[in-house]
Structures are given as structure tokens and as C-alpha cells.
Structure 1
Amino acid sequence: MLRLSSTWCRLRSPPPRGYGCSVPRSRPLSSSALLGAYSDIKFSRSPSFGSNQKPAASLPPLGLIAQPTPSTHPHLMKPGEVTPGISELEYELRRAKLMSECPDGSVVVVAGYGLRYMTNGIFYPFHQNTNLLYLCGFMEPDSALILEKSPSLDRGFKMTMFVRPRDKRTEIWDGPRAGIEGAESYFGADEAHPIETLPSFLEHLVDYPPAGPVFTDLPITASPPSPLDGTHIRTSGGHAASAASKDNSVTEFLRHVGFRRKPSGPWPSWESGKVGKEIEVKRLSPILNQLRLWKSDAEAKLMRECGRMAGRAFVETMRATRPGMTEHDLYAIVDYESRRRGATCLSYVPVVAGGKNALILHYTMNTQILKDGDLVLMDAGAEFGGYASDITRTWPVNGKFTSAQADVYESVLKVQKHCINLCTESHSMSLDEIQNISFDLLRLECQRMFKRTVDYLEMNALYPHHISHWIGLDVHDIGTVSRGKKLEAGMTVTIEPGLYIPDSPRYPPEYRGIGIRIEDDVLVGTKTPIVLTAEAPKEIVDIEHCMSRPSNV
């Protein structure tokens, strides 16, 4: 799924010397960067939970909760895991690492999401705030996580959760909940409270500030009321994928009160008799995103599984493609085939763009008939365990590339494979530098095909997006981390060059209206990258062979 650059896609001026351009090497890094970063954390006792708590493997008899557990879904989870593939120890290490980055007396506030509604009483499938998911694995709506750092505690911090209490009458309608008991015994909270008490807690936090700063991504200041409140209507313009991550569904308090500051003067702090200071509020995302940037071995394994599910779904979708079908048919097939292999859902609304529709980067209408002789571009991914995959493939509707289609396709594929090989720590390159290389190489390919000069301005129209974005729990992961950062082992990125040739007399007739993008998810290695989405065919010979086989659809 594309993430567009805010500037021209040619980011710097010097072109590469060729496909084998040399780059400086960087220092080596351990094979598991994230867990290696955790290794210096010292626990005064085992990094489990408080003395009154039980680990996930021995969940008390609460019955079902609102997400899989090892006892209810042994086919998905192993003992000791809180979510599929991620253990209670890894979640605890994540929290410990986060708090090690915060000063003593700090408070971290992470609010989960609520349900979004399509219409009266009809809600969309729930998707949790990924920061909260990263820190505790809790997948229910209407929740929040509070971490308070104190060196006097054995754990080094106190973990409090605000959740929906168990309610027999409501659970008949909405299904089971973890409740207060599950938040403490299964998710590792030292304390848990009903979600309706969260506004009071936040008001107390404002009125009686802690010794250290408050780290949060909740509103820093109160926003004025608007007639559009609650509608999710955007008035700022820009394409849909450029919208900031935002949720208005937690409570009215969080939207309109926020972490307001007192006008002047000190007031009592946490402990009676002490004089506090004005509350200091800092953004949590810059710290947490740096932790999420490197993937542990368990995360990389989950993302490889997401790539496998989606890649094999692409195989079946290619096999089923034939003239006269609709784009919506292919949407349904890739969705079904992903879920049949274990995916929770698709990672995002897929692009299924036949013919000239591929010139629209985020075309999601997906209703047109697929025509003989056209290409179809599909951008889709599978989600599992909270992690996402993101794949784009382009193939001929009738199963055979024309010579012009193959020419453009091979140009994009050659550049994509070259750029994937640059995704190593030893190359010491950033995503922006790889973008520049892809831009210049595709420009050379266009000049060869069109038999004329293609300047930078024209090339920005032919290749109008960035080659990459971070990927992980979010499809467009960790947005505050610059793509100018040097790649290091353990990071996960997409590599997705494309060419989109307008239906214009400026271009040779055989190339007009062709849109091609090829995208894979890549785990950055020390010397060798790992393609996480390798099951999806992308060589012309493999695509055509795949499409020649009979389909079961």
C-alpha cells in the first residue's frame, strides 16, 4: 500500500553510476536487534507479574475472553503467549524498555480505540490502537494502559489498565470480556479499573501532576467544539492515505478536555503537603516508534506468516483471473483465500485496478469489468496476530503479457530486485537514498522505452510515489521515523517501485495506459535481505505458468 512523499519523488540530484553502485559499509549489528536492545535491562526479580498474578499460561477460569488464548485456541497459540506468536515475557520486555527511556516519576498514558459505527447499531470490525496492542496485547475496545515509573517498585514501574468490567447481560449481546480479573491475571496489570473511571484519573493527573513528565498521544490541549464532531469528516484536504492516525471514539472527555494546563500558580502534587509544578506533557510516539522500528525474532516470524498467507492468496487469485470477471470478484477471492489460510482479515482495503484504473494509485472502487488484453494491478495484504503484510502484483487478465506490457513490467521488476538487494545494514543506505536510486534507474528505463529524454519533472508524473514505507503492526508503520534513517538489521520495509504511463499522444501507443507496481515486504538483514512475501509470483514466466493452471474458484 503506497505512502506518498510530501515532496517530489526524486529526493536528491546525483544519479547512480549503475545497478552495481557501491556504498559504504556500516558497523555490524546483532542478529536480533530488538531483543538485543533489551538485554541490558536488569530486573530485581523475574520479569513476570506481581505476586498476586498468574502468567498467561495459567489463565484462571474466566472462560472465554474477547480474543484467542492458549487454552481456548491451542491451534493458534502456545502456552505462555498473550497473543499469537508473542509471549508474556516479550510484552513485559517491551514495557520495561519503554520505561527505561523515561525519567523517574514519568507516567505513560496509552488510550485504546472504541468501536466505529457504520450506521445505527451497525459497527465496523474492531481494530485496536497499535501502540496499546504493542505494549500489552489487549484487543478489546474501550480500554487504556497507564505505566508509572518508580525505582522503589520491584518491577520498576506500575502497570494499570482501564477496561470494560465483565457484565453477564451485555456479554450475551457482545460476547465475552477479559474484565478487571483478566486484565490483572492474563495481561499482567498490577491494578485494573472500570473504563468509566478513566476520565477521573486523567483529571486527577492534570490537577495533581506527577514528578516526571506525562508521555501520551492524547490531545495536549482542549480542542474547540465543532459541528462535525463525531462524524470523522476531514476538512483539511489531501489524499486518504495522508490522514493522520486519529480516533474520536474513546470518550468526549478525551476529545474536548485533553491535557489542558492550569493558567498559573502551583497546586498540590500527588502527596498531600507537597507543592507540585505545572504538568509537563510530551509526545509518546517518538519514543515508542523507535522501539517498534526493530522487529524481534517473534515479530519477524509473524510477519513472514502474514506474507505467506497473502502470497499464496495471490497465487489463487491469479489462477482465477479471466476476462469478463469484475475487479470485485478478485477482491472477494484474495480476501477469502487469505482468511482460509488463517488471516484475521485483509490489512487494508485492497486496490484491484484493471486497465487504466491502475493509473490511480489508490483506486479502491473495484467495480469495473476486467477486459481481455488489459493488465490488472492488485495491492493487498493479510493481517495475523496484529501484524500486516503488504503486496502488490500486476498480471495480464488473459494470462499472457504483450511485448509492450512485458517491457514495462521487466523494467519495474529489475529495479525492484536491485533495490531489495540494497536493504541490508552493510549497504548503509536509507529508504530515501534507495528512492533516489529507483527514480534514476526507472528514468533510464523510460528513456530507453520512449527513445527520448525524460526529465525529472516528467518522471515525477510517471513515478509519483516513494518506493518504501515502514511496516509492522501498522501497514504504514511508525510514521514519526524518518525515511532518511540508515537501515539496520531487524527493520521491516516495503519495496514498491512503479510506472504509470498516461494515455497521452506523448507516449508510444503500445505503452499508453499501462500501470505497473511490484511490491514486497523485506526484513533488513546484516548482509542479506529476507523477502517476507516471496510466495507471490513476480517473474513473468512464473505468473504465466500460474495462470495457465486450472482454478478451483
Structure 2
Amino acid sequence: MHSLKRLSWTIGKVRSKNVVKSTFESQLRCISKMETPQGQKEQPRISLSIPTGEMGQPTCHTHPHLIPAGQLTCGVSQAEYVNRRDFFVRKLQMEMENEHLNHVIVIPAAAKQYMTEKIPYTFRQNSDFYYLTGCMEPGAVLVIIKPAQTDNYQTILFVHDKNSHDEMWEGPRTGCNAAAKLFAVHEARPIESFSKYLSRTVSTKPCVLWYNRETASNPEIVTIVCKTLEQNTMRWGDPQRVLHFMRVIKSPAEIELMKETCCIGAQSINMAMACTKPGVSEHSINAVLDFTSRQGGAEHLAFPPVVAGGHRATHIHYVANNQLLHDNEMLLVDTGCQRWLYNSDLSRTWPVNGKFNPYHKILYEIVLTAQKRLIQLLGEQRQPLDQLFDQMCRLLGTYLQQERILPHNIDGNELIASAYRLCPHHVSHYLGLDVHDSPLVRRNVAVQTNMIVTVEPGLYIRNDDHSVPAEFRGVGIRVEDDVLITDSDPIVLTADAVKEIDDIEAIVGKHKEYTLRE
């Protein structure tokens, strides 16, 4: 394992693929070119340029090795964030029942979280807030004011202002003076003024207050907003559904970011295979995943990974990762990494000793064959993910029956139910800024171009499952890839992670010989 540090780690740019421009991007272009209706004042223009100097987050000036020139965050320009807010307001406007009311939209950043006294968790920004601003600072609030009977709106970003004492301990802040220019908003104010500003704004004229009360990313802001709602007679709306329907369709810039994080995740899986052999601990494989992901450019893993040897893989969310791996066991790994808040999520299963035994091989080929067919169906039928789950159960049931693992005297719903018992989780979810992205977009919606979804069939056969022949018990297998929906064939973004039996057997245990390919 110590030779791991001597391995060369180079990730080249992900293979370029022509992806059809999304409906989302074309809508943004149309919005940016809309003419102001007669009789209305023109929307105040925002200057688009990245200020120099040290800010509260990396910029293209302070971290040119991370962010290309002219971009606010890696891969995404100020203009894209402005256009997202434009589109967001237009979409909310379509849901507004009364154009004669003012509309106040409040989107908070996440607050810092602490594991113990003065020991913070790694900060993770609220995805909705980040999607609209590109701001990575904790405790901020985006407020959008849309007056009645006009298409214009005002964006105000409340942030922690400069404070030399606090910055000595916690690092630099952007501050109000630079925040408006950096994040391309109309105005920036100190966060301490948010409560009075909101109260004054909603009490001046009748309005609708848009705020998601269910997801408390910042408890202090929840208290302020709920108190404002109690003290004033106004309508309330939840903006999150509109945001999730926007986020589920990825822009070209987001697709490139997803390609990068998926490539890093795939390479980390390959390295984990190369470092696997009998006697190695699950904890060590966990460390390999973390190390290679970070060295490849990810901030950290996307979630606590599953590294489950033998029968432990039948526990779908096993994350203890504290046992030794033994000869003739299979190892199931479910992992992913986060790069600029975009996440990969993939699973592979391989033999600890590098060679599939006959029974493990049968189960693995069933899962792999089903997964390949499900990816094809996504392109051919563009069906909702719930229907893809039904297809998975039918495929697994049929294949298991063909191998005499399930009895031949069952069919139809009984066969589907038997397959569901052996794979009780869903086959797919949306993927992006969150691992389970855009949860308000239900999985009964037909997939669309530029969605990214997982495809992850599995089989989990417990040691005490006497409905299955003994030689197949005590095994958990899952094969999961991240798939971009296009106008033609789906693109597997995690294709660099090997999954064919011959390729797996050629890598497992070969960490002294294996170098991550460019």
C-alpha cells in the first residue's frame, strides 16, 4: 500500500463529445435578448467582471490553477449565474397568481455546522443558493425583489462584511464592497441588516414571500423569515420546485463539470481494484478512494462510501468499513466524489482475490447484462425512472430464472416481486449538485435531454435466504454508472471505471503495476 504514493496520477481532459445544446441554454439566451416592454423601465444592468484582490473564495485571479480567466467558479461564468436568476424569476412569474402583488424571494446559504465545541464540519454550501449565485461563503442570503406589474427585479446579496478580527481566525471575506461585483448582483448588504430589511420590505406593500420552510439550511434565517410571516399578513410560496426543475436539466458548463467529477470517481474505483487483495481492510480501500479522488482534483468524497466485503454487501447502506477482506469474497464499493459541488456516484463489485468463482460470475453477469440493457432503454424509450425500475425487476427476474436461481413455476407479478425482494432499492436517481439531485422532480417524469441519472441494478442475497441455492448466498453485487441523456444514445460518464469481467481480473491486486491512464 505504501507504493500507492509513488503511482503517477494524471487525469487528462475527458473525451470530448458533442452534446446537443440544452433547452435550458436556449431559453437563457432568449431571456437575455428580451426587449423591455413599452412603458417599463429597463432592467438595471450588471457589470460582468471578476474583481482583483483576495476574496472569501477562490477566484481566477487568486487561484488561476483552479479557475480559468473570466469565470466566477470553475467552468461557470458570471453571465450564466445571472441568466439562471433571470430564468428562475421568469419561471416563478408563470406560477404567480396575482401580478398586482410584489414578490420577495429569499434563498439562504448554508450555515456552518459543528461536530463539537469549536470544531466545524467541512462546510458544504446550500445547492440552491450556490446554483443561483456561485457564492461559497456561509451564512449569506440572496433576496430577489420583483415589483408588481413589471418584468424587472432587483437582487440583493446579504453577506458577512469585512472584519479584521474574524478574518484573522477564519480567513478572508469578500465583504459588501466587493460582493456585488464578484457575484454580479445589484447590491450587497451586511447580513446583520437582513432582518430589518425583510420586515420593512414586506410591510410596505402587499406581497408574496417565497421561501422554502422545510429545508432549514440556516436555522437563524428560518427564525427571521417565520417571524416575519407571523407578524405580517401576506401570501407565502415555495420556490424550490421551480429551482429543482431547472437544476435537473444541465447546462453545457455543468455537463463538463459532471464529466470531470465522473472521470475522477471512475479512476478512484480502478485504483481501489488495483489495491485489493486478501488481508487488506475495507478501511484501507476507503482511504484509497479518498486519496485518489482528492489527488485527482475533487474536494472530497460525495458521501461516506460503501466498502463491503462478503456478506456485508447484503446490507445496502453498510458504511462501517472496518473488516478485513478474505479470499473468495466479493467486494462491493459504492463511492463518488465532489468537484466544485458537482457529484459522481458509481458502484462496482469485484473478487478480492482477482478471480470470479463460477457462482459469483453468474450473478455478476446477470447484473451487468441488466444494467447494459437498462442504459439502452433510456436512450430508446426515454421512459421515466419509475418505469425503468419496473424494467429492472423484469430483467433480473427473467435472468435469475434462466439460471435456475429463481423457480420456473412463477411468472408475471410474482416473478417481479421475487426480483424486487433481491433488489429492493430504486434503479436510478437524478445526479448533479446533490447526489440525489432535484428531489422535487418526481421519478414518474419522462427523462429529457441533458438530464444526468444513475443506472444501478443490484442483487443482495443474504446468508439466511433459503429461497436461493446455497452457493449463491451471502453475496451483494451492484453495478452503477452515471449516464447523460442526449438526443441520440446515452453517454456513460463513468465509462472509465472497468466493469467487464476480463478487465476487472486484469486490474485487481495489481497496484504495483497499475498507473492511472491519461
Q: TM-score, normalised by structure 2?
A: 0.87
Of the three residues 32, 38, 43, the one matched with 2:22 is 32
Correspondence 1:55 to 2:48: yes
- Report the alpha carbon displacement of residue 478 of structure 1 after superposing the two structures with TM: 0.5
Of the three residues 324, 349, 353, the one matched with 2:308 is 353
Checking the alignment, whether the CA contact within 8 Å between 1:116 and 1:249 is kept in structure 2 is: no
Correspondence 1:315 to 2:270: yes
- Report the alpha carbon displacement of residue 254 of structure 1 after superposing the two structures with TM: 4.1
The residue that corresponds to 1:493 in the other structure is 453
- Report the alpha carbon displacement of residue 64 of structure 1 after superposing the two structures with TM: 2.1
Aligned pairs for 1:216-235 (under 5 A) are 216-218=211-213
- Report the alpha carbon displacement of residue 75 of structure 1 after superposing the two structures with TM: 1.6
Q: Which is further off, 32-41 or 160-169?
A: 32-41
The residue that corresponds to 1:170 in the other structure is 166
- SS of the equivalent of 1:132 reads helix
Of the three residues 85, 105, 114, the one matched with 1:117 is 114
Pair 447,309 (structure 1): closer, same or farther in 2 beyond 3 Å: same
The residue that corresponds to 1:438 in the other structure is 392
Correspondence 1:452 to 2:448: no
Q: Which has the higher contact order (CA 8 A, sep 6+)?
A: 1
Amino acid at match of 1:114: A
Checking the alignment, whether the CA contact within 8 Å between 1:206 and 1:259 is kept in structure 2 is: no
- Give, in whole Å, the separation in 2 of the partners of 1:347 and 1:209: 44
The residue that corresponds to 1:464 in the other structure is 424
- Give, in whole Å, the separation in 1 of the partners of 2:270 and 2:20: 35
Q: Which is further off, 305-314 or 457-466?
A: 457-466
Aligned pairs for 1:238-253 (under 5 A) are 245-251=215-221, 253=223
The residue that corresponds to 2:4 in the other structure is none
Amino acid at match of 1:485: V
- Give, in whole Å, the separation in 2 of the partners of 1:520 and 1:261: 49
Checking the alignment, whether the CA contact within 8 Å between 2:56 and 2:174 is kept in structure 1 is: yes
Identity of aligned residues (%): 35
Q: TM-score, normalised by structure 1?
A: 0.82
The residue that corresponds to 1:528 in the other structure is 489
Q: Deviations over 1:295-338 (max 9, x none)?
A: 11110010000000111111111100111111111111100000
Aligned pairs for 1:307-346 (under 5 A) are 307-346=262-301
The residue that corresponds to 2:176 in the other structure is 180
Correspondence 1:158 to 2:138: no
Of the three residues 36, 51, 63, the one matched with 1:73 is 63
- The alignment covers a number of residue pairs equal to 476
- SS of the equivalent of 2:397 reads helix
- Give, in whole Å, the separation in 2 of the partners of 1:95 and 1:135: 6
- Give, in whole Å, the separation in 2 of the partners of 1:126 and 1:77: 20
Amino acid at match of 1:508: P
Q: Which is further off, 300-309 or 359-368?
A: 359-368
Amino acid at match of 2:312: N
- Report the alpha carbon displacement of residue 535 of structure 1 after superposing the two structures with TM: 1.1
- Give, in whole Å, the separation in 1 of the partners of 2:376 and 2:406: 28
- Give, in whole Å, the separation in 1 of the partners of 2:70 and 2:147: 27
The residue that corresponds to 2:88 in the other structure is 98
- Give, in whole Å, the separation in 1 of the partners of 2:381 and 2:103: 38
Structure 1: segments with no counterpart, 5+ residues: 1-28, 220-244, 263-277
The residue that corresponds to 1:507 in the other structure is 468
- Report the alpha carbon displacement of residue 78 of structure 1 after superposing the two structures with TM: 1.7
Of the three residues 49, 64, 75, the one matched with 1:85 is 75
- Give, in whole Å, the separation in 1 of the partners of 2:486 and 2:279: 43
Checking the alignment, whether the CA contact within 8 Å between 1:311 and 1:534 is kept in structure 2 is: yes
- Give, in whole Å, the separation in 2 of the partners of 1:204 and 1:522: 47
The residue that corresponds to 1:133 in the other structure is 130
- Give, in whole Å, the separation in 1 of the partners of 2:340 and 2:399: 40
The residue that corresponds to 1:482 in the other structure is 442
- SS of the equivalent of 2:317 reads coil
Checking the alignment, whether the CA contact within 8 Å between 1:322 and 1:397 is kept in structure 2 is: yes
Pair 521,88 (structure 1): closer, same or farther in 2 beyond 3 Å: same
Checking the alignment, whether the CA contact within 8 Å between 1:325 and 1:369 is kept in structure 2 is: yes
Q: Which has the higher helix share?
A: 2
Checking the alignment, whether the CA contact within 8 Å between 1:379 and 1:392 is kept in structure 2 is: yes
Checking the alignment, whether the CA contact within 8 Å between 2:139 and 2:218 is kept in structure 1 is: no
- SS of the equivalent of 2:269 reads helix
- Report the alpha carbon displacement of residue 85 of structure 1 after superposing the two structures with TM: 0.5
Amino acid at match of 1:195: I
- Report the alpha carbon displacement of residue 36 of structure 1 after superposing the two structures with TM: 1.7
- Report the alpha carbon displacement of residue 349 of structure 1 after superposing the two structures with TM: 1.1
- SS of the equivalent of 1:257 reads helix
- Report the alpha carbon displacement of residue 30 of structure 1 after superposing the two structures with TM: 5.8
- Give, in whole Å, the separation in 1 of the partners of 2:326 and 2:212: 47
Q: Which is further off, 458-467 or 408-417?
A: 458-467
Checking the alignment, whether the CA contact within 8 Å between 2:346 and 2:482 is kept in structure 1 is: yes
Pair 369,255 (structure 1): closer, same or farther in 2 beyond 3 Å: farther
Checking the alignment, whether the CA contact within 8 Å between 1:320 and 1:552 is kept in structure 2 is: no
Checking the alignment, whether the CA contact within 8 Å between 1:151 and 1:157 is kept in structure 2 is: no
The residue that corresponds to 1:192 in the other structure is 188
- Report the alpha carbon displacement of residue 50 of structure 1 after superposing the two structures with TM: 5.7
- SS of the equivalent of 1:107 reads strand
- Report the alpha carbon displacement of residue 506 of structure 1 after superposing the two structures with TM: 2.6
